[in-house]
Amino acid sequence: MAVPVYHFNSALVRRPATTVSAGLRAHDRGDPSYLGICDEHDAYVMALQAAGLQVHVLPALEEFPDSVFMEDPALVFHEGAVVLRPGAATRRGEAEALVPTLESRFERVLRLPGGNVDGGDVLVLPRLVLIGLSARTDREGAGALLGCLAQLGLRGAVVQTPADVLHLKSDCALLDEETILTTARLSRSGIFAAFRELIVPQGEEAAANALRVNEQVLLGREYPRTLELLLGAGFRAVPLSTSEVAKVDAGLSCMSLRWRA
């Protein structure tokens, strides 16, 4: 029986830089607190460990304010890793900084040969990897990533991220083999027609960036109605504070790279 794609035993995280308040943001929600982000990051690492993962903590990269958000510059799978080319030019050095770490842990490390892709636009489903076109992921990059996935024996498909949504996974998360947590605006696109959809309540759209890790679903503490929705559907939800990382357009999925070693 195949192991579910949300079953992991390893993760990479990076300590927040003291420069994190200079990180990119599409919407100004005020500057995050460095200590506040450190507290949220510590709680996140503990939650991954409690879920059964061995978490490898990398040192902060002070020259890259967004470098705590590990998922955008690379993708990792059981089959190998892909070094991406983030859509924001200021983040591309993060990808290069990850190469030695990835090469020490994966037999196959591929590089995106062209275009731009942010890992936040990539949703891994049981039999398919979705690549969302967005302001950070262009069609050339998506096509290049399809080729990288094929080299790893994986199948991909390109979809459109809703207008004014930063990343595909800002609006969705895989909950189990048959269920997606998503927003009403992304549901209307029909890309999850083959799944059972749980629609986050209006006003809690950011809660859709949840993270299934083994038998737990990590969820922003700030979204009580979505927490009730998940508990009512039988999921073991673990609320974590995300109020500070949200100020730099981040959430739960982007703070780690997870795989089954």
Cα separations in angstroms, 34 against 8, 23, 159, 246: 29, 11, 35, 13
Q: How far apart are CA 127 and CA 132, in angstroms?
A: 16
78 in active site: no
Q: How far apart are CA 34 and CA 11, in angstroms?
A: 22
- Active-site residue (options: 41, 148, 172, 254): 254
27 in active site: no
- Active-site residue (options: 41, 148, 167, 172): 167
Q: How far apart are CA 182 and CA 130, in angstroms?
A: 14
CA-nearest of 49, 51, 23 to 37 is: 23
Active-site positions read 167, 254
